[in-house]
Structure 1
């Protein structure tokens, strides 16, 4: 996977996802902080508010455009913050905690990401983020085009989260100093987030998956814990 030693090398574009309307307290302010942290590191940030109607269709169209940005050297990051549920064993992105929420099944959009001819990092700050794990049969059937896909998920398969991972993400990005020879990758970013959360005695701990760890983690695999 990519590793940054200089800001802007390789070029990075971030797609920040959240629902147009939601009931997550403090989410808008946290999204602003994450956006600014990426922007300070010269990452190009695209803020996409998922519409409440035909949510999956609109997001799929946005992903289709985003996953073609730049060239083969461009690194893409997809960040989602909000509600996450399970139905029954798959990750569901949701606008609200009620039954009337707008929802998107991760299964409906994951193959777009897996097949992208770009290196893609995915950051999921939601409950049940681990429910997005991809079965090995799906991995074997999906083309990667030689471009790794990695995920940092705020929680495991059936855990809740308090949203503290995004706070740790902001701190980790702010502390990254490439001018001092400090390199950054999804793996090192994950490690720094874990350390920061441990210092806060956070109950939920994030999960990191790449194509090499898929067999090791509960026998399932890659891309979205």
Structure 2
């Protein structure tokens, strides 16, 4: 009886491995390998912006050189632990973790201004509501000064209407529910499979996932958009090995 049980377990293990290899499914590792691009040793800075729906906002920044991680969430309100259907005055926003040696806060500000209508009141595009208001959250006086200067420049370009963007000191940032993270990428089941069906935590911390999220929304610069497309096509032609880097 014991021998039969051992043989059955062995056959099941072989079957699981066969399915895993055949379908490219990634099973959780008991001892996951250390990431080759470990950003924990880097000095990263954080920027938080609100510019409408955070699904779109995350995709706007994810493909920029120097951006390591993106997270959508809530800030600017008074409710502890807000939820998507119960915001308590918070705005939808995106947190950007970036390498200041590659990209500067001033450059992120430029992308912020060019990616939404800062003159629109009580919403952004088709999304209406206070949760979609325009805000630059700052960390300290240096960022506050840069944000104010950029707002003044933006106002000079819009003499006929008032720039409604607010500049606020960043308080607590509350990450949004998992369903809202990497929203555009999660709509593309093929790419998730090609990445190996990463666990939620690993997907959320992945630089590649941030870039692919932007790619799915077609927000990468044209040259990078084409490079990613070619990389994916190459992987598929070779027989669907896992996509580890772009």
TM range (shorter): under 0.3
* Bigger Cα Rg: 2
Question: With structure 2 as the length reference, what TM-score do the two structures score?
Answer: 0.26
**Of Structure 1 and Structure 2, which has the larger fraction of its residues in strand?**
1
**Of Structure 1 and Structure 2, which has the larger fraction of its residues in helix?**
2
Question: With structure 1 as the length reference, what TM-score do the two structures score?
Answer: 0.27
